[in-house]
Structure 1
Amino acid sequence: MMIRLKHELILNSFKTIDGRGHNIEITGNGCLTVQDVSNIIIHNIHVHDCKPSGNTNIRSSPTHVGFRGRSDGDGISIFGASHIWVDHCSLWHCKDGLIDAIMGSTAITISNSYFAHHNEVMLLGHKDSNAPDSGMQVTIAFNHFGEGLVQRMPRCRRGYIHVVNNDFTEWQMYAIGGSANPTINSQGNRYTAPVDADAKQVTKRVDTEETEWTDWNWRTEGDIMVNGAYFVPSGVGLSAQYSKASSLEPKSAGLIDQLTLNAGVFGDPRDTSGISNPGFSGAGTTTATTADGGGGNGSNGDSDYFGMIFGSDGPPAHSSATSILLSLPIILVLYTITNHGALLSLQLLTL
């Protein structure tokens, strides 16, 4: 089912979009807006080719229609929202970011998703001077950052970011960037550097002198570096400094193939032509301490196509028993956040 939006689809609190059992694509103008709400789950949908829209009246609830300014063209825009879970989604080729979370948004989990063919993939934090983003907590877990990506996986301003058990198979400039002193905890990921010798570095401190960022808490722990990739850590490196950027126990990076095998919408085959699977031969964890040299000279342009191939039919229907098992994590999460107001239980993501 192709849902081609004329303007933003604005979500209200305590809502779930669940595309399991169907082939759901959301595209067009505005796409998904999660603004000033809480307790949202977006699960098992494709989001792509989103464009700016607005400067018109848009319905934001069954009882309210109001004027909206122009949107940026994000796939999923999270603005001043909390307790948000984006899981098993496939995103590509939007005008601005695939997922942006800004203006004090927090308690966000982005998991088991697939990203491809895009320039500025994910932005966390509005701008360096925006103090409300200082308390932002985001977990990025079990995702596959795939073909045709350039930068921002994510790009962080302030906040506490846990990047855990993801597979980064392509970037042209850098994978993880930041400014304004974010805390970044990278654990159990696999980083595969591009061929470009000037773009091997995983990290980039954006528009910041080394004398300023040397005290920022950025660490790599248990990550596997492939094809010359290297992560430039900084800060004191003490575990206590990362307590707000630690949401679950990382699995071994040696299990990345299994952990990210089903990243994206259930049942999607992928075109991985030109992307080798390096495995772990000769690879290992690196704790490079050289100065941040910035991004490489990769192209800033987006591709005009998407290399992921989707079947004309949705994924096969689950049996009753399987459907019940797949529903349990959603039910448990909704129970937790409804009755206890707690953060999403990230351990559920590995069920």
Structure 2
Amino acid sequence: MVITLKQELIMNSFKTIDARGVNVHIANGACITIQYVTNIIIHGLHIHDCKRTGNAMVRSSPSHYGWRTMADGDGISIFGGSHIWIDHNSLSNCADGLIDAIIGSTAITISNNLFTHHNEVMLLGHSDSYTRDKVMQVTVAYNHFGEGLVQRMPRCRHGYFHVVNNDYTHWEMYAIGGSANRTINSEGNRYVAPANPNAKEVTKRVITTGKWKHWNWRSQGDLMLNGAYFTPSGAGAGDSYAKASSLSAQSSSVVATLTSSAGALSCRRGRQC
């Protein structure tokens, strides 16, 4: 089925959306909001063509129905949420980000997803001045960043980010970007640079001064192809990278296999998936 939401689907704590065994698209309207809640799983959805909605009355819980201002049009918007797992979804072509996490969100795993045909793929961190995002810890693992992507895979602020065993086969500007002195630990990924000679660098630092040289960004065991290169920085403080290490990286040589089932799975009801 294709579900076209008139307004945001606002999730409550301790909830799972599980689309295994069926073919469900959330598309052509509003999409999913995770706001100030915890313990959420989203699995197996096709999320695409999300629109800006709002300035309307929306139900946010069984007991509350109230006014919502305009939503940005993210595929999945995480706002002050924690303990969230976004796994085996296919996301593309939304009005803003495919997955955005801001306002003190933390303990997030984004795994086994297929991202295609989008500009600003993933924003992790509200703004350079919003220091509450220093608590943010996010794992980005086993995803395939595929056709038609431009930038922000992810784009990080403050916090600690483990980018591990992902397959980057397409980008037009850069793969991983950031600002505001965050820690990025890139391990065991495969980066295939585009043909554009001006877009070979995996990383982009959003800053106008030399402060970025103190930011902890490292690449370990990554496979760089077609001229791709990663610019490391920082003193490599052990405690910082410990907070940005959530699982053991496998060899980048097996990334294609690890990510071969990225995206919504084709499961059959009654069979193991």
Q: TM-score, normalised by structure 2?
A: 0.98
Count matched residues: 273
CA offsets 1:126-147 (integer angstroms, 9 cap, x no match): 0000011011000000000000
Deviation at 1:258, TM superposition (A): 1.2
Partner of 1:153: 153
Unaligned ranges ≥5, structure 1: 268-314, 327-351
Superposed counterparts of 1:96-245, under 5 Å: 96-209=96-209, 211-245=210-244
Paired with 2:131 and 2:239, the residues of 1 have a C-alpha distance of 22
Paired with 1:190 and 1:61, the residues of 2 have a C-alpha distance of 42
Paired with 1:137 and 1:229, the residues of 2 have a C-alpha distance of 26
Deviation at 1:86, TM superposition (A): 0.2
Aligned equivalent of 2:268, options 307, 316, 321: 316
Unaligned ranges ≥5, structure 2: none
Query: % of aligned pairs identical?
Result: 64
1:169 and 1:193 in contact (8 A); partners too? yes
Partner of 1:250: 249
Paired with 1:28 and 1:192, the residues of 2 have a C-alpha distance of 31
CA offsets 1:19-49 (integer angstroms, 9 cap, x no match): 0000010013330000000000000001000
1:189 and 1:256 in contact (8 A); partners too? yes
Secondary structure of the corresponding residue to residue 214 of structure 1? helix
2:142 and 2:165 in contact (8 A); partners too? yes
Secondary structure of the corresponding residue to residue 260 of structure 2? coil
Paired with 1:97 and 1:64, the residues of 2 have a C-alpha distance of 27
1:6 and 1:28 in contact (8 A); partners too? no
Paired with 1:70 and 1:18, the residues of 2 have a C-alpha distance of 27
2:101 and 2:125 in contact (8 A); partners too? yes
- The code of the aligned residue for 1:200 comes to K
Deviation at 1:236, TM superposition (A): 1.2
Secondary structure of the corresponding residue to residue 50 of structure 1? coil
Secondary structure of the corresponding residue to residue 134 of structure 1? helix
Deviation at 1:238, TM superposition (A): 4.4
Residues 1:59 and 2:59 are matched in the alignment: yes
Deviation at 1:61, TM superposition (A): 1.2
Secondary structure of the corresponding residue to residue 97 of structure 2? coil
Deviation at 1:239, TM superposition (A): 3.7
Partner of 1:14: 14
- The code of the aligned residue for 1:56 comes to A
- The code of the aligned residue for 2:200 comes to K
2:160 and 2:240 in contact (8 A); partners too? no
CA offsets 1:204-259 (integer angstroms, 9 cap, x no match): 001332x2100100000000000000000000134443011000011111110111
- The code of the aligned residue for 1:7 comes to Q
Secondary structure of the corresponding residue to residue 26 of structure 1? strand
Partner of 2:72: 72
Q: TM-score, normalised by structure 1?
A: 0.76
Higher Cα Rg: structure 1 or 2?
1
Paired with 1:213 and 1:198, the residues of 2 have a C-alpha distance of 20
Paired with 1:166 and 1:318, the residues of 2 have a C-alpha distance of 30
Partner of 1:83: 83
Paired with 1:18 and 1:184, the residues of 2 have a C-alpha distance of 30
- The code of the aligned residue for 2:214 comes to D
Secondary structure of the corresponding residue to residue 147 of structure 2? coil
1:30 and 1:72 in contact (8 A); partners too? no
Paired with 1:215 and 1:106, the residues of 2 have a C-alpha distance of 23
1:15 and 1:39 in contact (8 A); partners too? yes
Partner of 2:35: 35
Paired with 2:238 and 2:149, the residues of 1 have a C-alpha distance of 31
Paired with 1:132 and 1:243, the residues of 2 have a C-alpha distance of 20
- The code of the aligned residue for 2:72 comes to D
Paired with 1:114 and 1:206, the residues of 2 have a C-alpha distance of 26
Give the structure with the larger helix fraction: 1
Paired with 1:173 and 1:77, the residues of 2 have a C-alpha distance of 23
Paired with 1:146 and 1:260, the residues of 2 have a C-alpha distance of 11
Secondary structure of the corresponding residue to residue 132 of structure 1? helix
Deviation at 1:58, TM superposition (A): 0.3
Give the structure with the larger strand fraction: 2
CA offsets 1:248-285 (integer angstroms, 9 cap, x no match): 01111111011101000113xxxxxxxxxxxxxxxxxx
Secondary structure of the corresponding residue to residue 212 of structure 1? helix
- The code of the aligned residue for 1:191 comes to Y
Paired with 1:264 and 1:249, the residues of 2 have a C-alpha distance of 22
Partner of 2:45: 45
